[in-house]
Structure 1
Amino acid sequence: MDSVFRLLLRILVIPIGLLAAILAGVAVILFGQWRIGALANQSLGLAPETWVAIMEALFTGTFLVTFLVSVMWLVALVGVLFAEVFAARSWLFHVANGAVSAFVGARLFPRISGEATAPADPFYILAAGLAGGLVYWLVAGWSAGFWKPVRSRPPSPTPQPPASAA
């Protein structure tokens, strides 16, 4: 019964971890490469029409970046499956999985990432993968493994044979 509960828990935790990793990758790209904070500071004195146009562009861009990072994490599912099958719980494994999958995902799908017109900065792609891998480990990777519990129960002591009265 304990293994069934653990399997159901892993089925719930893995998608939550993937969603958190996607959000972390999107945040790195939006605030790092796009410099959203600097854009907001510069646009305080703009006309309302310009401000609405900037917000529409940010909303659309955020949607597209979320799609891009989601595609990158489809590649990472191979590493997540490996971690679950072999109970790989190392944060280094999950961070490396995020970085490699972001880089490979951006190279496999260049039309989605916009590299056909302007190449994306690989620094921010790798940074998004590193951040996503770390966030995935914090949410779901530290307890990876369908069959291996995090804290195993101590073995029950074997009963000692009664001492013979002599």
Structure 2
Amino acid sequence: MIFLLTRLILVPLAYVAALVAAGAVAVGIAFLRAYGPVADDPVALGATSWILVGDFLIFCGFVGYAAFIPSVIAIVAAEIFSIRSALYFCGVALFCGFVASRLADEEALRSLPSEPAIAGAAALAGGFTYWLLCGRSSGIRIRPEPQRS
């Protein structure tokens, strides 16, 4: 019973942490791209930083919404079949990132990076973060009975 309650709390927290990691990678790359032209102007650098914070919140919200159903299916499958592979979670994250990018309205999300390499890097960061926090222990652990001598 405690295992089930732990999973019900840990899985959503790990999902949110994965979204934050993916958003941090995508917005970090956008910041590195924008830093060169505004590096000498502190006002422009501050404004760019605040814009990127807004982009981070939009990115996390959009990806969390668009990738929710495929992520739930993959997480439930991992829990049922005790899949603990980092490759599985990173591959699922790439698939969910692809689904989210296909659902994206390009005009509404114009300021976010939309290149496949950046989306893939963000998805891999999210999948790896989920694996670190929750994926390594997915599934029901069956403890072997102690041997009696």
**Pairwise same-fold verdict (TM > 0.5):** yes
| 1:113/1:76 CA distance change after superposition, 3 Å | farther
For residue 138 of structure 1, the aligned residue among 128, 132, 141 is 132
For residue 78 of structure 1, the aligned residue among 73, 76, 80 is 73
Cα distance between partner residues in 1 of 2:107 and 2:16:
19
Q: Secondary structure at the match of 1:99?
A: helix
Cα distance between partner residues in 2 of 1:44 and 1:129:
28
Cα distance between partner residues in 2 of 1:92 and 1:122:
19
Shift of 1:18: 0.6
In structure 1, the residue matched to 2:118 is: 124
| Segments of 4+ moved more than 6 angstroms | none
Q: What pairs with 1:39-50 in structure 2 (closer than 5 Å)?
A: 39-40=34-35, 42-46=37-41, 48=43, 50=44
Aligned Cα root-mean-square deviation (Å): 2.8
Aligned residue pair count: 148
Query: Of the two, which has the highest radius of gyration?
Result: 1
Question: Identity across aligned pairs (percent)?
Answer: 25
| 1:87/1:103 CA distance change after superposition, 3 Å | same
Q: Is this contact kept in 2: 1:114–1:120, CA < 8 A?
A: no
Cα distance between partner residues in 1 of 2:23 and 2:7:
24
Normalising by structure 1, report the TM-score.
0.75
In structure 1, the residue matched to 2:24 is: 27
Unaligned runs of 5+ in 2: none
Unaligned runs of 5+ in 1: 160-166
Normalising by structure 2, report the TM-score.
0.83
Q: Is this contact kept in 2: 1:84–1:144, CA < 8 A?
A: yes
Amino acid in the other structure paired with 1:154? P
Shift of 1:143: 0.5
* 2:125 pairs with 1:155: no
